Each structure stands twice: as structure tokens, then as C-alpha cells.
Amino acid sequence: MKYRLPGRWPVYSIGIFTGPSPLLLQAPPGVSNPVLTREDVTDHFATFVADPFMIRVDGVWNMFFETLNWVGGRKGEIALATSRDGLRWTYRSVVLAEPFHLSYPHVLEWGSDHYMIPESSAAGAVRLYRADPFPDRWVFVRALLTGPVHFDNSVFHRDGRWWMFSETDHDRGTLRLFHAPGLTGPWREHPRSPVVLSDRGIARPGGKVLSSSGRLIRFAQDCRAAYGSSVRAVEIERLDQREYEEAELEGNPVLTASGRGWNRLGMHHLDAHQLEDGSWIACADGWCHRARRPRELAIWARDHLRRLVGI
């Protein structure tokens, strides 16, 4: 087995937050963030875990997220962790891997089926998968859009129609909007698209679009200073097949770097869900840099490989 050990790289981990709204979140009492790290991955040699999305099915929280498989091609794969209370998580396994990089596993329920739309720009398309069965196996359904540049696609249903945000130029901060009569299409670009141009602070999607207190909110990664430095909230004020208007909400950023620990340098993703009592629970990722000396890297590699082979 040949591979090059990483020396200094961004390490993403996943934390849980709660609060009275998706805009007012903090670590819940009794929970020590992060709740998932690369050390929890037991079936491959991972360097980070990121881009978490949750969905609750039959009383169980299922979290899908990207894990970077360093040995298996240095590409992203989609893994699963589960929880009964949303606070304590158990890593399960990789549930979707392709010859190309995958990340941002946007998962949703529609009718009696569960779907996933991971970021798959390396395949030259926005790809739709269906669970068969949920949550361990995902089968390819079709390409919703084609083209090499569609990053972190966020899909939602509103007013009888499907909508999709997609960043199509990260360097220039360009966000495009598409819509369709059904989830499988046909998808076409909105006449007001691109809806964000030349603004890296709010162009790249940073989680699901959601409704809270009568507001339709999308989350964005603030990439002005650095990739994924914080998460900002934008209210969608008008959305139909002809018009689109939005405005940043007061109180931004929603999540940002803590200055120490697992999210010392930034936070770049948020997926929030309202509970039965009206409160909110959210999963989010944060990152820091790890610089390791050769001896530390050797110990790190040894421990990971031992876990992979079960010794």
C-alpha cells in the first residue's frame, strides 16, 4: 500500500448545536463537540469529516457526511452515522462511493422515497440518487444538470415547484438558480439567474434551505477571507418563476471560527431541524489546521491502519 502522508492540511470535524431558532445556536449542555471526527471513521483511512446533513426516520437520526478517503484515491465518499437523541452519534460506514469525488450529501424525503443529491462536479453533472434500501444503499437515478461546474447544490420544494441553488464559479462568487416541475426535471435556469454575482461572502451554499418563523432562509459559506470561514444567513424575500429577491439577515454570521479547538479557523456548513417542542437542533462542521512532525504522522498512520485491519 503506497500513499503520501499529509503534513499540514485543514481538518474538518462535526459538531451539534441547539437553540430557539436556526439563527441562534450554541453547543447544548452535556455535549462535548465535536461529536464526529476523522478518528471515528473505522472502514477507511480518513483525513476529515465534513458537510453533514441529517434526516430523522422512524425515530432515528441519520447523518450523512463527506469523509475524505486518503488511501482510496484521495477523494470524498459519503458516510453515515446514527443517533437516537441527535446528541450522541455512532459511526456506521461509507454508504456511497464512486470513482470520482463526492461531497455535500444533500438528503431529502419525498413521497415514500429518500433521495440524495451529493456534490458530484467531478463527474460533470448534478446526480440524483435514491435509497434502496434506506439508509445503507444508494442507486443512481439520473443527472439533473450537466456541466463540470456545479458546486454544493441545495434543492428544495416550494409552492408546488422544485428549486436548486448551485455555485458555478467559486473564484468569482457566482450563485445560479434553477427550477423544475418535478424533482427529476426538466430543470431550467431562472430568468434572474445568476442571483449572486461577484460576492464570495454569500455565493456558495452552506446547507439546506429552510423555513423559520415565516422566513425562507438559505445558508451560505463566507469565503471572502478564506474558504468556509463562517456561515451566513440570507432571507429569500421573493421567489417565483419570473422574479427573485433576497437580502442578508441581521446578526450574521450565524456560525464562525471559535479561535481555538476543532473549529478554530472557521465553520462552513449548517443543517438545522425544528423539533416537536419548537426548538432547533443542527449539525455543523468546523475546521482547523494540523501541523504534524514526521514521528507524529507515523504514529497517526499506524493507529489508523491498525483500526482498519482490526488489530
Domains of the chain in sequence order: 8-306 (2.115.10.20)
The fraction of the chain above a pLDDT of 70, given in percent, is 90
Which has the closest alpha carbon to 168: 208, 209, 196? 196
What does the pLDDT look like over 17-61, one tens digit per residue? 999 999 999 999 999 999 999 999 999 888 899 999 999 999 999
Please give the average per-residue pLDDT across 237-247, as a whole number.
Answer: 98
Q: Which of 152, 123, 109, 135 is nearest to 273 (CA)?
A: 109
Kindly report, residue by residue over 155-207, the tens digit of the pLDDT: 999 999 999 999 999 999 999 999 999 999 999 999 999 999 999 999 999 99
Q: How confident is the model at residue 2 (pLDDT cuts 50, 70, 90)?
A: very low
pTM above 0.75, yes or no: yes
Q: Is the dihedral of CA 105, 281, 248, 245 positive or negative?
A: positive
